[in-house]
């Protein structure tokens, strides 16, 4: 219910929303939780395992119970914490993990079966038979135990990522963070102040005390006004810093669109913030006390009750009871009374609790039970004089506060136990560059927080080389925080520790009994702290119970490891920018449009898109197009865009010497105006890449790499030059993108070019010549090289002319009976000639295997030379390149098939090699394949068996020379 005169919801504007289809009204500034409590809705969800009725426990991001699903369809968002979700007009929220309804949940039967569902239940119950696990147990458990469901539809929301940089990142905008940000900003530092809440101020919004004579929230507003006016400050609300990484990198999730009706724009933004220094002012999280039925709706943390009252003007009950073991709990009772809310009793487990006026104080009392199925109606209090039942519709409990140390542990820091506040505090220096301050550092009075904020900022500023301005400590509350630990109230029945994963005191004790004594083992055995809230409110209580059960102290028991993210992050946010076309760059050649217009299906080759084939009317299969294209190259002339091959411009006085070092063969002997095929090894002696390199001038070369290896070769050249021979005067730059390059292949290729070039090609253009040419007013480069075995050229022009030149070349080729050809035909043409691609150069192949052993010059050192001479890499028994031609009735051959002796059983131990490339050759009139066969070159003429186990194919083949067509090479040279 709302409490008149309380709360900071200034506008008072009414906001309609629905929960499980029922319409409610909240006020602008409400969270879903505060609005539901204002409407006296207590039951908001069902628990994970036992389907127990649950209500709101907290007022922050640590909430374990009040998880709801927001929206519907593709935009359905499960497991949203009602304590974080802001209401807006049209908000639709639904409860989770219940059927058929929240009030009557059939699966609540699990609650009755609880004796069988305790710790280790999964491990013990469903061990046998194995097959039952997948088919029966798991589906049943998954249906019964769970959280909200995914929509099952493609994510329609937009997410974005962004980078930010600052001198100082301040995490948390409570009194500590605000103070630190003020000091740092006034000193001139670039400051980012990030807070997970939609309104900055932290506990100042939830408390009634004053700073410098101003109400806390007004002091916060004043600080924020000052910060907001400074250019060097960036205020990031709704931004949770969720991860801490090396060298001052922080991950933060900003909720951009969840608080308003959906429209265009990102829903969330995942930030990578790089900060030279960081002040962690993340505050503290209140912990519950474990007692029987402490999970009833209406039982909340005391600080949350205070927050709902003071910030949202809501009292979660009409007759509230308060139960605590520390002074802070008294504040809740005091604020409620001051607001006119009836406080039925203040139960303080300490026998020396301070006095309290206005309500019954039960010193040394402990709440040992609660009743009321869908909402608490009474509690049982145990004191020295016996047990007493008190009627109440809300219990505010406090087992003390845990500093929010999580982010200090992301780089392997372990928090330390502080006996005085009975809580873990960060280990100083746990994260390089980060200073912890305020409640997250164990400072629990406002004055301490402000002082630590000032001190932390000063430390950071000094390290940044900036001078902190003189700042007086504001006048603020300095009451001490006194606590006497109470983790679990003794007694029968189930007392909850982890509300979200349904872990009870009994479960933890059972884990200890079964010798899961390490906190990490206990965690996994009981699932304590493994839910979406990661046990923020329960971990310390659970390990205290474990410590007790194992007879150790809490420091010896230790904590589990806190890992990123601090609070849940949608995968869509982590992958922001990578949806659809953002997944990878798309590289288009200049002929792309013309190819698409001709109906060519485009295939991805690395990041490039290349045409598979160019279908003609009447062609029904790719093979028909491919066969025709092969034929037009062999008989007339074909045109193919080869711009995607890597091209590297290499210049300098030592360019030739450098090439001699990276290639196995000699390039210093290459004449200007000539091209040579080169083979590149890795240092381990295996082939890395091949290609042609042209010598354009005495000190100027252009190297061609395969499309796939272009980036790798560039990196390799830089590596060899910079790390192995920096003394060589050579430089290189990629020119792949500068030139649009087209293969013109076939007996009529020279005719085509002579119609185009300003100076016809004469006899001085032999095979492997290169040079500059003029055509249609443009200067280009011509290389007489062939990847088809035909008389062929590659013509390069500056890329801007690529689109026009491709159309021109195709038109001229068609006039000569030829036309364009695609990747399929290119592949057939090269297989017919036994030419290599990365299907063959797959990383386990040596020059020797390819029959190119003589290309590894013994006259000079080169990368890979030494190790290529290892005996094992020159063993004739190695699998070596051969051609295969079917000889039996079955003609089919597929890459990936294995080779066996004709009569051998096709099992692994009998393997003789494998097949790498295959095609139907219209030129030869047969299926052809390239393969690696043990001792292959010595076995030409032998018939072997090729078995494709995957497709169930068995083909008898004759071993032949890998050059199937024109072995003498007359066509290319002619």
Q: 648 or 933, CB closer to another protein?
A: 648
Q: What 8-state DSSP symbol labels residue 580?
A: G
- Least distance (Å) between residue 395 CB and another protein: 42
Please select the residue that binds another protein; options are 724, 811, 907, 943, rule is CB under 8 A. 724
- Least distance (Å) between residue 686 CB and another protein: 11
Q: Which of positions 773-792 make contact with another protein (CB under 8 A)?
A: 776-778
If binding is defined by CB under 8 A, does position 757 make contact with another protein?
Answer: no
Q: 277 or 494, CB closer to another protein?
A: 277
If binding is defined by CB under 8 A, does position 718 make contact with another protein?
Answer: yes
Q: Which of positions 678-707 make contact with another protein (CB under 8 A)?
A: 683-684
Q: 450 or 809, CB closer to another protein?
A: 809
Binding mask 181-200 for another protein (x = CB under 8 A): ---------x----------
Q: Which residues of 13-30 are buried (b: 16+ CB within 10 A; e: fewer)?
A: eebebebbeeebebbebb
If binding is defined by CB under 8 A, does position 605 make contact with another protein?
Answer: no
Q: 265 or 555, CB closer to another protein?
A: 265
Structure tokens at 181: 């940000």
- Least distance (Å) between residue 655 CB and another protein: 9
Q: What 8-state DSSP symbol labels residue 135?
A: I
If binding is defined by CB under 8 A, does position 653 make contact with another protein?
Answer: yes
If binding is defined by CB under 8 A, does position 603 make contact with another protein?
Answer: no
If binding is defined by CB under 8 A, does position 496 make contact with another protein?
Answer: no
Q: 865 or 935, CB closer to another protein?
A: 865
Q: 23 or 263, CB closer to another protein?
A: 263
- Least distance (Å) between residue 579 CB and another protein: 10
- Least distance (Å) between residue 608 CB and another protein: 7
Q: Which CB contacts under 8 angstroms, 24+ apart, belong to 365-368? A: 365/323, 366/291, 366/323, 366/486, 366/489, 367/289, 367/291, 367/294, 367/321, 367/323, 367/395, 367/397, 367/489, 368/291, 368/292, 368/489, 368/490, 368/491
Among 93-101, 209-217, 236-244, 578-586, the segment contacting another protein (CB under 8 A): 578-586
If binding is defined by CB under 8 A, does position 733 make contact with another protein?
Answer: yes
Cα–Cα dist 380/391, whole Å? 9
Please select the residue that binds another protein; options are 14, 101, 586, 621, rule is CB under 8 A. 586
Please select the residue that binds another protein; options are 20, 28, 40, 158, rule is CB under 8 A. 158
The residue with tokens 């008389």 is 791
- Least distance (Å) between residue 739 CB and another protein: 8
- Least distance (Å) between residue 642 CB and another protein: 14
Cα–Cα dist 428/517, whole Å? 28
Q: Are the C-beta atoms of residues 408 and 435 closer than 8 Å to each other?
A: no
Cα–Cα dist 733/675, whole Å? 19
Other Cβ atoms within 10 Å of 219 Cβ, number: 23
Q: Which of positions 161-180 make contact with another protein (CB under 8 A)?
A: 161-165
Cα–Cα dist 751/757, whole Å? 10
Q: Which of positions 807-846 make contact with another protein (CB under 8 A)?
A: 808
Please select the residue that binds another protein; options are 152, 386, 480, 585, rule is CB under 8 A. 585
If binding is defined by CB under 8 A, does position 577 make contact with another protein?
Answer: yes
Q: Which of positions 903-932 make contact with another protein (CB under 8 A)?
A: none
- Nearest in space to 645 (alpha carbons), one of 687, 579, 682, 692: 692
Torsion over CA: 144, 147, 148, 153 (sign):
negative
- Least distance (Å) between residue 179 CB and another protein: 24
The residue with tokens 């930030």 is 271
Q: Are the C-beta atoms of residues 732 and 628 closer than 8 Å to each other?
A: no
Q: Which of positions 272-291 make contact with another protein (CB under 8 A)?
A: 272, 274
Among 4-12, 844-852, 858-866, 909-917, the segment contacting another protein (CB under 8 A): 858-866
Q: 234 or 521, CB closer to another protein?
A: 234
Q: 10 or 723, CB closer to another protein?
A: 723
Among 38-46, 376-384, 581-589, 902-910, the segment contacting another protein (CB under 8 A): 581-589
CA angle 843, 706, 899 (to 5 degrees): 40
Cα–Cα dist 438/282, whole Å? 8
- Least distance (Å) between residue 426 CB and another protein: 17
Please select the residue that binds another protein; options are 250, 739, 793, 848, rule is CB under 8 A. 739
- Least distance (Å) between residue 855 CB and another protein: 17
Q: 154 or 722, CB closer to another protein?
A: 722
If binding is defined by CB under 8 A, does position 597 make contact with another protein?
Answer: no
Q: What is the 3-state secondary structure (H, E, C) of 428-441?
A: CCCCCCEEECHHHH
Cα–Cα dist 509/545, whole Å? 7
If binding is defined by CB under 8 A, does position 564 make contact with another protein?
Answer: no
- Nearest in space to 169 (alpha carbons), one of 219, 258, 242: 242
Among 128-136, 321-329, 504-512, 713-721, the segment contacting another protein (CB under 8 A): 713-721
Torsion over CA: 287, 320, 114, 78 (sign):
negative
Cα–Cα dist 675/768, whole Å? 5
Q: 198 or 417, CB closer to another protein?
A: 198
If binding is defined by CB under 8 A, does position 587 make contact with another protein?
Answer: yes
Q: 740 or 930, CB closer to another protein?
A: 740
- Nearest in space to 430 (alpha carbons), one of 454, 403, 446, 406: 406
Among 157-165, 845-853, 923-931, 962-970, the segment contacting another protein (CB under 8 A): 157-165
If binding is defined by CB under 8 A, does position 731 make contact with another protein?
Answer: yes
Q: Which of positions 41-60 make contact with another protein (CB under 8 A)?
A: none
What's the first-to-final CA gap in the chain, in angstroms? 96
Please select the residue that binds another protein; options are 737, 905, 938, 961, rule is CB under 8 A. 737
If binding is defined by CB under 8 A, does position 590 make contact with another protein?
Answer: yes
Structure tokens at 515: 């010798």
Q: 556 or 729, CB closer to another protein?
A: 729
Other Cβ atoms within 10 Å of 952 Cβ, number: 7
Q: Which of positions 353-412 make contact with another protein (CB under 8 A)?
A: 411
Residue 526 CB-density burial (10 A; 0-12 exposed, 13-18 middle, 19+ buried) = buried
Structure tokens at 292: 């029987």
Q: Which of positions 231-260 make contact with another protein (CB under 8 A)?
A: 245-249, 256
Cα–Cα dist 352/559, whole Å? 30
Backbone phi and psi for residue 728, each to the nearest 5 degrees, phi listed first: -75, 135
Residue 667 CB-density burial (10 A; 0-12 exposed, 13-18 middle, 19+ buried) = buried
Among 142-150, 342-350, 490-498, 651-659, the segment contacting another protein (CB under 8 A): 651-659
Q: Are the C-beta atoms of residues 24 and 35 closer than 8 Å to each other?
A: yes
Q: 101 or 866, CB closer to another protein?
A: 866
Structure tokens at 666: 């000699």
How many binding residues for another protein (CB under 8 A)? Answer: 73
If binding is defined by CB under 8 A, does position 584 make contact with another protein?
Answer: yes
If binding is defined by CB under 8 A, does position 575 make contact with another protein?
Answer: no
The residue with tokens 């609300």 is 237
DSSP track, 337-391: HHTT-EEEEEEES-TTPPP-SSS-EEET-EEEEEE-SSS--EEEEEETTEEEEEE
- Cα torsion for 709, 712, 714, 719, to the nearest 10°? -150
- Least distance (Å) between residue 576 CB and another protein: 9
């Amino acid at each position: 219910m709302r409490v008149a005169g309380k709360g900071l919801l200034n506008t008072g504007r009414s906001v309609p929303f629905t929960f499980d289809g029922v319409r409610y009204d909240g006020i602008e500034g409400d969270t879903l939780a505060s609005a539901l409590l204002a409407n006296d809705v207590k039951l908001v969800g069902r628990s994970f395992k036992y389907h127990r009725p649950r209500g709101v426990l907290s007022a922050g991001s640590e909430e374990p119970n009040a998880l709801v699903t927001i929206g519907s369809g593709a935009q359905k968002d499960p497991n949203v914490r009602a304590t974080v979700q802001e209401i807006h007009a049209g908000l639709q929220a639904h409860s989770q993990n219940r059927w058929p309804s929240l009030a009557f949940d059939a699966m609540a039967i699990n609650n009755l079966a609880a004796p069988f569902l305790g710790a280790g239940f999964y491990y013990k119950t469903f061990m046998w038979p194995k097959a039952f696990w997948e088919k029966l147990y798991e589906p049943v458990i998954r249906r019964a135990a769970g959280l909200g469901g995914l929509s099952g539809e493609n994510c329609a929301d937009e997410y974005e990522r962004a980078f930010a940089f600052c001198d100082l990142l301040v995490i948390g905008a409570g009194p500590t963070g605000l103070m630190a940000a003020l000091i740092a900003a006034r000193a001139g530092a670039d400051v980012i102040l990030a807070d997970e809440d939609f309104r900055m101020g932290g506990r100042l919004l939830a408390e009634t005390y004053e700073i410098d004579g101003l109400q806390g929230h007004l002091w916060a507003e004043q600080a924020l006004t000052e910060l907001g006016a400074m250019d060097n400050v960036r205020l990031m609300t709704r931004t949770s810093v969720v991860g801490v990484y090396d060298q001052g990198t922080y991950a933060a999730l900003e909720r951009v669109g969840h608080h308003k009706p959906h429209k265009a724009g990102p829903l969330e933004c995942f930030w990578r913030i790089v900060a030279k220094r960081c002040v962690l002012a993340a505050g503290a999280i209140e912990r519950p006390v474990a007692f029987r039925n402490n999970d009833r709706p209406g039982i909340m943390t005391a600080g949350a009750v205070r927050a709902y009252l003071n910030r949202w003007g809501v009292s979660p009950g009409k007759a509230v009871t308060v139960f605590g073991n520390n002074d802070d709990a008294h504040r809740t009772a005091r604020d409620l009374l001051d607001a006119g809310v009836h406080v039925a009793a203040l139960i303080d487990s300490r026998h020396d609790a301070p006095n309290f006026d206005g309500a019954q104080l039960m010193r040394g009392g402990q709440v040992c039970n609660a009743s009321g199925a869908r909402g608490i109606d009474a509690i049982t209090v145990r004191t020295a004089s016996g047990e007493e039942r008190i009627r109440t519709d809300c219990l505010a409990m406090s087992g003390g506060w845990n500093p929010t140390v999580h982010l200090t542990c992301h780089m392997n820091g372990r928090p330390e136990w502080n006996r005085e506040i009975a809580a873990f505090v960060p280990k100083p220096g746990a994260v390089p560059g980060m200073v912890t301050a305020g409640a997250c550092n164990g400072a629990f009075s406002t004055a301490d927080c402000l002082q630590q904020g000032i001190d932390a900022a000063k430390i950071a500023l000094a390290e940044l080389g900036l001078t902190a301005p003189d700042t007086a400590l504001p006048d603020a509350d300095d009451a001490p925080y006194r606590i006497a630990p109470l983790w679990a109230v003794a007694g029968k029945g189930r007392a909850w520790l982890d509300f979200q994963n349904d872990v009870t005191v009994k479960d933890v004790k059972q884990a200890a009994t079964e010798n899961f004594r390490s906190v990490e083992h206990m965690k996994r055995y009981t699932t304590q702290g493994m839910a979406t809230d990661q046990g923020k409110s329960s971990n310390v209580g659970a390990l205290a119970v474990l410590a007790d059960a194992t007879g150790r102290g809490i420091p010896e028991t230790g904590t589990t490891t806190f890992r990123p993210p601090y609070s849940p992050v949608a995968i869509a946010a982590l992958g922001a920018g990578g949806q659809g076309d953002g997944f990878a760059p798309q590289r288009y050649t200049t002929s792309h449009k013309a190819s698409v217009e001709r109906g060519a299906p485009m295939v991805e080759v690395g990041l490039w898109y290349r045409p598979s084939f160019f279908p003609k009317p009447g062609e029904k299969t790719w093979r028909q197009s491919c066969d025709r294209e092969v034929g037009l190259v062999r008989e007339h002339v074909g045109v193919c865009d080869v711009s995607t091959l890597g091209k590297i411009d290499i210049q300098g006085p030592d360019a030739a010497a450098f090439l001699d070092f990276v290639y196995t063969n000699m390039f210093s002997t290459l004449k200007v105006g000539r091209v040579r095929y080169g083979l590149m090894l890795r240092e381990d002696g295996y082939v890395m890449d091949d290609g042609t390199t042209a010598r354009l001038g005495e000190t100027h070369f252009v190297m061609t790499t395969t499309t796939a290896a272009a980036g790798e070769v560039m990196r390799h050249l830089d590596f060899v030059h910079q790390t192995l021979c920096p003394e060589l005067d050579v430089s290189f730059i990629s020119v792949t993108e500068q030139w649009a390059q087209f293969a013109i292949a076939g007996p009529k290729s020279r005719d085509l070019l002579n119609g185009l070039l300003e100076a016809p090609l004469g006899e001085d253009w032999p095979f492997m010549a290169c040079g500059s040419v003029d055509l249609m007013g443009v200067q280009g480069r011509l290389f007489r090289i062939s990847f088809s075995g035909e008389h062929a050229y590659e013509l390069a022009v500056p890329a801007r002319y690529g689109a026009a030149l491709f159309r021109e070349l195709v038109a001229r080729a068609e006039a000569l009976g030829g036309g364009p050809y695609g990747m399929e035909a290119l592949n057939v043409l090269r297989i017919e000639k036994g030419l290599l691609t990365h299907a063959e150069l797959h990383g386990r192949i040596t020059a020797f295997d390819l029959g190119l052993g003589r290309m590894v010059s013994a006259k000079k050192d080169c990368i890979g030379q030494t190790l290529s001479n290892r005996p094992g890499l020159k063993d004739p028994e190695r699998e070596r390149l051969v051609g295969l031609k079917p000889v039996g009735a079955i003609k089919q051959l597929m890459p990936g098939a294995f080779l066996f002796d004709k009569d051998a059983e096709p099992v692994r131990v009998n393997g003789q090699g494998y097949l790498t490339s295959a095609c139907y050759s219209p030129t030869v009139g047969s299926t052809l394949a390239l393969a690696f066969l043990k001792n292959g070159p010595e076995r030409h003429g032998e018939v072997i068996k090729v078995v494709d186990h995957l497709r169930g194919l068995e083909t008898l083949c004759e071993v032949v020379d890998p050059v199937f067509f024109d072995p003498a090479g007359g066509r290319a040279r002619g």
